[in-house]
Amino acid sequence: MNDVMQNPASFRDPRGSIYQVDQRILRTVMPVAAADFDFVRSSGLIEKLINSGKLIAEQQVDNTILGEVGQSASYVLEHPRLALISYPYEWTFAALKAAALLQLDIILEALDHGVMLTDASAYNIQFQGTQPIFIDHLAFRRYQPGEIWQGHRQFCEQFLNPLLLQAYLGVPFNHHYRGALEGITAATLKKLLPFYRKIIPKVFLHVVLQSSLQKTSSSDAVKVLPKINMPLDGLRNLVKGLRRWISGLHPHKITVSTWQNYAQEHTAPTQKLALVTEFIKTVQPNIVYDLGCNTGIYAKTALQAGANNVFGFDGDHGALEQAFNNAKSEQLNFLPLVMDLVDPSPAQGWANLERQSFTQRAKADALFALALVHHLAIGKNIPLSQLINWLLDIAPQGLLEFVPKSDPMVQELLRLREDIFADYTEDNFLQCIKQRAEIVKQVRVVGSERMLVWYSKKNIKM
């Protein structure tokens, strides 16, 4: 039998866990969850959510596929494998907003079927392109008449409060979220908000009052909460009110960022677009990483040439917001993510295993690093040899661009600092690649001294 590996993020819920056998993704449904599991499926909710694309598909399989693990389960389900697992602290504002709206929509549909969600974790949502999809099939249970929304606090911390931080204060939530994996507490947000924001009725209810309740002792909460009886219509109205509010939120004071503006003012060279197209048509990759993706010009070109999935990574929030909105309006299978490539997402959570690092999740078939290398090598002092090795570890083949010191963009990086980058030469750039890969093609960009390099760590059938 093949090895059964439990997903390191799937251990908190006694109702079931996620396992991997080869490339197959499997979920156990334990006896403690069987009654709710049967009820929810008999309600028709799961089928409806799957058919509408809001919930990841499932198929019941034989328990023996999980060996001894499967013997103790009531059911074993198989789910499609996602191209990449991303985390809320890597999402753009628009992505977190879309995920929040999906969470609320699912709650409303669940209530219509006599079902409620056990929690409101943002980690239960992933993306296919810019389309959010719910992935936790065990988050559903039978609705209990009069119950309050037990996931309200979690929803606020993991969805609402991060969005408000950026919408009201202009502070991107990503670094705060990465530093506190459970999100931003009401108490934290309350301290940051100006008084005129706090007295807005919605803010008072979901932030100020929530902060006060969190200060209540657990013994007092135990006495009070069971006495609260929330009518079903009241619960629906609470969720609908949040949905209307979040639908109207936008990043505070949207301004055109440096690199977003650069992308708008500079047309992508025809040679680059042609080489991207040739590369994709030849390699036929399933998953492409576009490092330094900016507004997604090359990601779109890659998809048009036949790539199945493209994920972009950049640290420019303005460019990424535009990239996400463009991909959404054009229905591209492209997800731009927030990431400082000099400080990529680390391994975090319990035992440093619960949330995997970017490197652990990086399973691309191909990558682009166009107009990126000089920013990291000169702008961030990353030795060229280390940078090339890191890029080649991410994907076995790809397109890299070398921008020489004579280029105006590099001159700008060097304008106020000493040139200590003796290793930053075209010859060394090519030599670093050749140490680990074959150079399939070199193209000099017309009208400049820039060099495009197509590398491959394996033989490609041309």
Task: Report DSSP letters for 228-276, one per residue.
Answer: ----HHHHHHHHHHHHHHHHT---TT----HHHHHHHHSPPPHHHHHHH
The packing angle between helices 258-265 and 317-329, to 10°, is 50
pLDDT per residue over 323-335, tens digit each? 999 999 999 999 9
Q: Residue 129: is its pLDDT beyond 50?
A: yes
Q: Please give the pLDDT value at position 299.
A: 98
Closest by Cα among 440, 443, 450 to 372: 450
The number of C-alpha atoms within 13 Å of 288 and in the hemisphere containing its C-beta is 32
3-state secondary structure 118-130: CCCCHHHEEEECC
Q: Residue 268: is its pLDDT beyond 80?
A: no
Look at the alpha carbons of 109, 27, 331, 360 in this order and tell me if their dihedral is positive or negative: positive
Q: Residue 219: is its pLDDT beyond 60?
A: no
Q: Among residues of the chain, what percentage have pLDDT more than 90?
A: 87
Calpha distance 62→70 (Å, rounded): 8
Q: Among residues of the chain, what percentage have pLDDT more than 70?
A: 93
Q: Residue 380: is its pLDDT beyond 70?
A: yes
Mean pLDDT of 374-390: 97
Q: Residue 259: is its pLDDT beyond 90?
A: no
Query: Token pair for residue 80?
Result: 């499609």
Q: Please give the pLDDT value at position 351.
A: 93
Query: Token pair for residue 308?
Result: 């199945």
Calpha distance 59→78 (Å, rounded): 5
Query: Token pair for residue 152?
Result: 């309200």
Pairing of strands 287-291, 366-369: parallel
Q: Residue 360: is its pLDDT beyond 70?
A: yes
From the number of C-beta atoms within 10 Å of its C-beta (0-12, 13-18, 19+), residue 220 rates as exposed
pLDDT per residue over 100-120, tens digit each? 999 999 999 999 999 999 999
Mean pLDDT of 360-387: 96
Pairing of strands 334-338, 309-314: parallel
Q: Residue 461: is its pLDDT beyond 60?
A: no
Q: What is the mean pLDDT of the chain?
A: 93
Q: Residue 443: is its pLDDT beyond 60?
A: yes
- The CATH classification number of 258-456 equals 3.40.50.150
pLDDT confidence band for 3 (50 / 70 / 90): confident
Q: Give the ranges where 72-160 is alpha helix by DSSP (H).
A: 93-112, 152-155
From the number of C-beta atoms within 10 Å of its C-beta (0-12, 13-18, 19+), residue 355 rates as buried
Most confident of the following: 208-222, 244-258, 259-273, 295-309 = 295-309
Q: Residue 256: is its pLDDT beyond 60?
A: no
Q: Please give the pLDDT value at position 462.
A: 44
pLDDT per residue over 27-84, tens digit each? 999 999 999 999 999 999 999 999 999 999 999 999 999 999 999 999 999 999 999 9
Q: Please give the pLDDT value at position 265.
A: 45
Mean pLDDT of 391-396: 97
